[in-house]
C-alpha cells in the first residue's frame, strides 16, 4: 500500500509546474511541509513490517530528494524568468517626451514687441478691458457726437436689468491706458501698454470683434515728431529687418495732432511691389502722432511745459506680416495644427 502511494507521489512530483513563487510555495507546503504528503508517508513508514523497511526506506528517501530537487529546479526557472523580464526594461533609455504646449503666435509677437521697446527705455503699463467712457473717449478728446461712441462701433455693457449702461464699455483701443497712466504719473512718462481691445465688427477673415494692440506713450519736455519717427524706425528695423524703411502718411485721430499712419517697405518683395502689398511696395502697420495738448490738459499735465508722442499698433497686423497668417479668425480658433506651427518660431 505504502509502496503504491510512494510511486504515485513520485509520479506527481515529476509532473509539477509552478509559474511564480506563490505557486511554488504552495507545492512545497503540499509535499514537504510538516503536514505535507511526503511527511505523511514517512509517518506511515513506522508501521511497515521489518522485511519491507529497507526497500521502502530507500524509496521514501529517494522520493524526498526528488521532491526537493524538483522544487529547487522550479525555483531556479522562476528566478531566471523574472530576471529576463527585468532585463527587458532599459533603465538608461530616455523617457518619452511629454508633449508641451506652444506659445500662441500673438503672445510670441507681443513678447517680441515688448522686448524691443523695453530695450528702448519703455516700461510696461496696464489697464482694465472693461472701461468707462471717460478713459476710452472723453479724456482722449473724442467729441460728444463722435461715431466711435455709437453702439455700431463699440460694445456697451448691460446692467443687471438688461438696459445698456452708456458709461461701461469694452475698451475699443488701448489709448484708454494712456489716460490712466497720465492720471497717476507726471512726466517723464515712457510706457507701452499691450492689451486686448473690442470692436463691434462682423467676424470675417479681415476683421474680428476683438484683437490686440500695443499702445506707446512718451511725454517729456521738448519731445518732437523727429523723436517719434526715430523710435518707430528702430522698431520697424528690429521687427522686420535692418533694411526696412518707413513712410508716414498724414492721418487723423482725436487724441493726436498732427497724426500719421505708418507704412513699412514690403518685406516680401523688398519694396518692389507684389500681390501682398498690392504692388505699392508698402504695408501699413500703425497709427501715431503728437499727443494733442487737449489730452494732456484733460489728464492733468501742463501742455505748455510738456509735449509727447503716442502710437498704437495691432499685434495681429504685425503677426500677419511676419508669419503671413491670412485669416484673422485663426488666431482665436485654437486649432492645434495652426498653433503647433509656431513651435520653433521662438
Ligand atoms: N488708438 C488708435 C487706434 O486704435 C491707434 C493710435 C494710438 C493712434 C495712439 C495714434 C496714437 O486705431
Over residues 315-330, the pLDDT tens digits come to 999 998 888 888 899 9
Beta strand segments in 199-325, E = 210-220, 246-253, 256-265, 282-291, 307-314
What separation in Å is there between the alpha carbon of 76 and the centre of ligand 1?
Answer: 82
Average pLDDT over residues 9-33: 90
Q: Which CATH architecture has domain 106-345?
A: 2-Layer Sandwich (3.30)
Q: Which residue has the cell 506527481?
A: 12
Q: Which atom of ligand 1 is nearest to the CA of 217?
A: 9
Pick the atom of ligand 1 nearest to 313's CA: 5
Ligand 1 binding pocket mutation candidate from 312, 314, 318 (most atoms within 8 A of CB)? 312
> Does residue 340 have a pLDDT over 70?
yes
Angle, helices 225-240/105-119, rounded to nearest 10 degrees = 130
pTM of the model: 0.72
> Which of 127, 182, 253, 314 has most ligand 1 atoms within 8 Å of CB, for mutation?
253
Evaluate whether 156 touches 168 at the Cβ level (below 8 Å): yes
Nearest CA to ligand 1 atom 2: 312
How many angstroms separate the alpha carbon of residue 36 from the centre of ligand 1?
A: 95
77 vs 204, 308, 338, CA distance in Å?
A: 71, 87, 55
- pLDDT more than 70, % of the chain: 98
pLDDT digits (tens, 9 = 90+) for 151-205: 778 999 988 887 777 789 999 999 999 999 999 999 999 999 999 999 999 999 8
Domain spans in the chain, listed from the N-terminal domain onward: 2-86, 106-345
Q: What length does the chain have?
A: 346
Cβ-contact 175, 215 below 8 angstroms: yes
- At residue 213, φ and ψ (nearest 5 deg) are -130, 160
Measured in angstroms, how far is the CA atom of residue 311 from the centroid of ligand 1? 6
Amino acid at each position: 500500500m505504502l509502496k503504491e502511494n510512494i510511486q504515485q507521489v513520485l509520479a506527481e512530483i515529476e509532473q509539477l509546474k509552478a509559474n511564480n513563487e506563490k505557486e511554488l510555495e504552495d507545492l512545497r507546503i503540499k509535499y514537504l511541509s510538516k503536514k505535507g504528503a511526503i511527511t505523511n508517508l514517512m509517518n506511515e513508514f513506522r508501521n511497515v513490517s521489518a522485511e519491507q523497511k529497507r526497500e521502502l526506506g530507500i524509496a521514501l528517501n529517494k522520493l524526498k530528494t526528488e521532491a526537493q530537487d524538483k522544487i529547487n529546479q522550479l525555483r531556479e526557472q522562476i528566478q531566471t524568468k523574472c530576471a529576463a523580464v527585468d532585463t527587458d526594461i532599459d533603465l538608461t533609455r530616455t523617457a518619452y517626451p511629454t508633449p508641451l504646449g506652444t506659445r500662441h503666435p500673438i503672445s510670441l509677437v507681443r513678447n517680441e514687441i515688448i522686448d524691443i521697446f523695453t530695450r528702448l527705455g519703455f516700461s510696461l503699463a496696464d489697464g482694465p478691458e472693461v472701461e468707462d467712457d471717460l478713459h476710452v473717449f472723453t479724456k482722449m478728446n473724442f467729441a460728444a457726437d463722435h461715431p466711435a461712441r455709437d453702439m455700431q462701433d463699440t460694445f456697451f455693457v448691460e446692467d443687471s436689468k438688461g438696459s445698456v449702461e452708456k458709461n461701461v464699455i469694452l475698451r475699443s483701443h488701448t489709448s484708454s491706458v494712456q489716460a490712466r497712466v497720465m492720471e497717476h504719473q507726471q512726466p517723464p512718462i515712457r510706457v507701452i501698454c499691450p492689451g486686448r481691445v473690442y470692436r463691434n465688427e462682423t467676424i470675417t477673415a479681415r476683421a474680428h470683434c476683438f484683437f490686440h494692440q500695443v499702445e506707446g506713450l512718451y511725454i517729456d519736455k521738448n519731445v518732437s515728431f523727429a523723436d517719434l519717427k526715430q523710435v518707430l524706425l528702430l522698431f520697424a528695423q528690429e521687427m522686420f529687418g535692418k533694411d526696412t524703411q518707413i513712410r508716414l502718411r498724414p492721418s487723423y485721430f482725436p487724441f493726436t495732432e498732427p497724426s500719421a499712419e505708418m507704412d513699412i517697405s514690403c518685406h516680401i518683395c523688398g519694396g518692389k511691389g507684389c500681390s501682398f502689398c498690392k504692388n505699392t511696395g508698402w504695408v501699413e502697420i500703425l497709427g501715431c502722432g503728437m499727443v494733442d495738448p487737449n489730452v494732456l490738459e484733460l489728464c492733468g499735465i501742463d501742455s505748455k511745459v510738456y509735449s509727447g508722442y503716442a502710437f498704437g499698433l495691432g499685434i495681429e497686423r504685425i503677426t500677419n506680416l511676419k508669419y503671413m497668417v491670412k485669416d484673422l479668425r485663426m488666431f482665436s480658433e485654437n486649432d492645434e495644427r495652426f498653433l503647433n506651427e509656431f513651435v520653433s518660431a521662438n
